Amino acid sequence: MKRFFTLLILVGFTSTTLAQATNAEAKEILNRASKKMRSFDNLYLTFTYFFENSRVNPPVTQQEKGDIAIKGDAYHLNFMGTEQIRNGNKLYTILEMDEEVQITEYEEGEDAGLTPTRILDLYSKGYSYKLGGSEKVNGKTIQYVILKPNASEEVDKIMVGVEKDTDHIYSLKQWGTNGTITTFQVTSFEPNKKLQPAYFAFNRKNYEGYYIAE
């Protein structure tokens, strides 16, 4: 009996040690990916967006494509018929169909949805993380990391896919507590793209005839 309890203690200790090791490895993967993204002068991504909710009747599925350029804290996003530019503390939302530009003050957490920019700091606080599985995609090894929010009424978990050889973000997938599943899958990853500084600035002359709401 004594040996049995000793074995249980050893198994429990080993399991805890392994869990701590895999958690540390998961954090290191995210650290490397974040550091890699920040190492570029700018980063241009194209992505495919998937949305589904099987809890509603009829079930909802949606697929869209978009692109985003990131330079420091500035970004230029084209997605679902909307163009958005963040420059300093200003956020410019350009609605081409309505010929309208909305100018608002940018606030931290404004991009609280699941976007490629958010992953840079997503894991730094408020989440626990562990290794997920890995798979081969078009000859590339993708390692997944699972993030669980410490306290959230909206997010159940997030899975980040990172290319093992390059530390590039491959995908972001979020499960909502309401049954929604949102996925951003990167289709092209282009660092240090030749973009003019004006690409991250809003120029009123380009939107003559638009209603500009400030």
- pLDDT, tens digit only, all 214 positions of the chain: 444 433 443 444 333 333 344 578 888 888 888 888 888 898 899 999 999 998 888 999 999 999 989 888 788 999 888 899 988 888 899 999 999 999 998 776 545 444 545 555 655 677 888 899 999 999 999 999 998 888 788 889 989 999 999 999 899 898 999 999 989 899 998 999 999 889 999 999 999 999 998 8
Of all helices (H) and strands (E), which one includes residue 14?
A: helix 2-39
pLDDT for res 112: 44
Q: Domains of the chain (ranges plus CATH)?
A: 2-71+113-194 (2.50.20.10)
Q: Residue written as tokens 């530009």?
A: 101
Radius of gyration for the alpha carbons in the chain, expressed in angstroms and rounded:
21
- Cα→Cα distances 74→21, 54, 174, Å: 35, 35, 24
The torsion region of residue 88 among left (phi > 0), alpha (psi -120 to 50) and beta comes to left
For residue 177, list its beta bridge partners: none
pTM above 0.75, yes or no: yes
